[in-house]
Structure formats: structure tokens, C-alpha cells
């Protein structure tokens, strides 16, 4: 009888814990305070802007919470600027705009607005580095790459998203763009990690990718498009190759 009671208790505990395990997702930091923001904060090159892990969110013209293109950002980073220790809450407007080489360290988006961050600029040698942090609730894109150059995303987590990275599919001026993803944890649901335009010579490199809660492997790793300068781009394939989508199956772990 005692053995039966133990078995029943164990089964009950299993039933109780299983849904919690399935629901486990990304872990975000607790903000140290609130910072309502009614106008774009412009960060110059030189001294890093340290947000002290406060939650910044849009008010006034930055507070619509919409998905329309052309919104102003909460932060605008000059060429050579650094932003660190920031939590972007809702509404986040158009997140962060980077006007050239920039670094985002330990930046978190609790509820992505139009995009979490957009890489602009005009130099093929510019680099946007995202190191640490995470993003949730991106109905479309997390990182949008409009200018040329290379975006590096490392030590990052993404949860409930459309695309983690997209090389602009229909910018009026198109460029060859590159993205490097290293030590990324992606939590389902999500659509794809990367979308690139192979006709412009884009490349995407992947290493240490972990995808959680996607046993059917619905999240695409690397989608290939034919980019355009007007109209809509055409999806032309997905998966690894030796030219554009640079990874091996061993670079991706599912759990």
C-alpha cells in the first residue's frame, strides 16, 4: 500500500512538473527602475552610454506601440558609439538605430516594437556587434540590416519571434551584407534565425546554436531570398551551403 501511494505521488509530481518544463523560456533580468522616454536619446562616439539596467520605454511620439515602418528609435547610436546595460520595455518604438560601427552590450528587449535594432550606415567595413542580452515578442524581425557591413550577434537569446536577423529585402539601395551568429539560444515559437539575399552576395555564419522547444524543427536556420530595390523579395530556398548559409548540422543543437 505504501509502495502504491509512493507511485501515485511520483506520478502526480511528474504531471505537475511537466507543463512547467514545457513552458520554460528565456530568462530576463529585473530592471532596476523605470525611464520613460519621449524623444530619441542620441549616443555619440566615445564614452559608452550605460543605462544601469533601467527599463526605457516610449512615451508621447515614441509611445504608439505600433508596427508601422519609419518610427523613431528610443536610442540612436553614432558611428563608434556603445550602448550597454539597458532594458527596453513596451512600447519600444523602433528600438535602436545604429548609424555606423557600434556595440550593444547586455541590451534586452522585453517586447520588440517595429524592430529591436536597425543597422544603417554606408561603409562596407562597418560592424555592428550585439554581445549578450535578449529579445522577446518580435512579431516580425529582431535585427534589421539596411546598410552594408557585418553584424555580429553573440551570447544572445531570442524568444517568440519572426526572424532574428534579416538583410533588407527591398531597400532602395542594396548592399552585400554579412551576419555572424555565435552562441545563440532560440526559444520556440519562431520562424527563422536568418534571412539573407543571395543575389547580392550576402553570407551568414553560424556556430553554437541551440534551439529549445522545437522538436519538429519548424524554425528555419537560414532562409535565402532574391532581394529587390522595389516590390517584395522572393524566397528561393533555405538550408546550409558552401557560399551563403555557412554552417553544418553539428552547429545546431535541439533540446
pLDDT at 3: 44
The residues near 135 (Cβ < 8 Å, ≥ 6 apart) are 108, 109, 112, 116, 142, 156, 157, 158, 159, 161
Chain-centroid distance of CA 140 in Å reads 10
Per-residue confidence in pLDDT tens, the chain, 255 aa: 444 444 433 443 333 333 333 335 789 999 999 999 999 999 999 999 999 999 999 999 898 755 555 689 999 999 999 999 999 999 999 999 999 999 999 999 999 977 999 999 999 999 999 999 999 999 999 999 999 999 999 999 999 999 999 999 999 999 999 999 999 999 999 999 999 999 999 999 999 999 999 999 999 999 999 999 999 999 999 999 999 999 999 999 999
Interatomic CA distance for residues 198 and 174, integer angstroms? 12
Helix (H, G, I), strand (E, B) or coil at 175: coil
Grid cell at residue 83: 550602448
Record the pTM: 0.89
- Identify the CA nearest to 224 among candidates 211, 209, 246, 239: 239
Contact 57, 88 (CB under 8 A): yes
Within 8 A by CB and 6+ apart from 145, the residues are: 118, 119, 128, 151, 165, 166, 167, 168, 177, 179
Q: What is the pLDDT of residue 26?
A: 85
Amino acid at each position: 500500500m505504501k509502495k502504491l501511494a509512493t507511485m501515485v505521488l511520483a506520478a502526480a509530481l511528474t504531471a505537475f512538473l511537466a507543463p512547467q518544463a514545457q513552458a520554460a523560456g528565456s530568462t530576463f533580468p529585473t530592471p532596476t527602475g523605470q525611464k520613460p522616454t519621449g524623444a530619441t536619446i542620441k549616443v555619440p562616439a566615445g564614452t559608452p552610454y550605460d543605462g544601469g539596467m533601467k527599463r526605457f520605454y516610449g512615451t508621447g511620439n515614441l509611445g504608439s506601440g505600433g508596427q508601422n515602418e519609419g518610427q523613431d528609435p528610443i536610442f540612436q547610436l553614432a558611428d563608434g558609439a556603445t550602448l550597454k546595460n539597458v532594458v527596453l520595455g513596451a512600447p519600444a518604438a523602433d528600438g535602436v538605430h545604429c548609424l555606423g560601427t557600434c556595440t550593444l552590450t547586455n541590451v534586452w528587449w522585453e517586447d520588440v516594437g517595429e524592430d529591436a535594432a536597425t543597422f544603417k550606415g554606408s561603409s562596407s567595413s562597418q560592424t555592428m556587434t550585439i554581445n549578450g542580452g535578449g529579445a522577446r515578442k518580435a512579431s516580425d524581425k529582431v535585427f534589421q540590416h539596411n546598410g552594408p557591413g557585418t553584424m555580429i550577434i553573440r551570447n544572445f537569446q531570442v524568444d517568440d519571434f519572426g526572424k532574428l536577423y534579416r538583410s533588407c529585402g527591398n531597400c532602395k539601395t542594396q548592399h552585400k551584407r554579412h551576419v555572424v551568429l555565435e552562441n545563440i539560444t532560440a526559444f520556440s515559437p519562431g520562424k527563422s534565425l536568418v534571412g539573407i539575399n543571395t543575389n547580392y552576395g550576402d553570407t551568414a555564419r553560424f556556430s553554437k546554436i541551440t534551439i529549445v522547444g522545437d522538436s519538429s524543427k519548424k524554425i528555419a536556420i537560414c532562409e535565402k531570398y532574391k532581394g529587390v530595390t522595389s516590390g517584395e523579395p522572393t524566397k528561393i530556398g533555405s538550408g546550409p551551403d558552401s557560399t551563403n548559409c555557412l554552417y553544418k548540422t553539428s552547429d545546431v543543437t535541439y533540446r
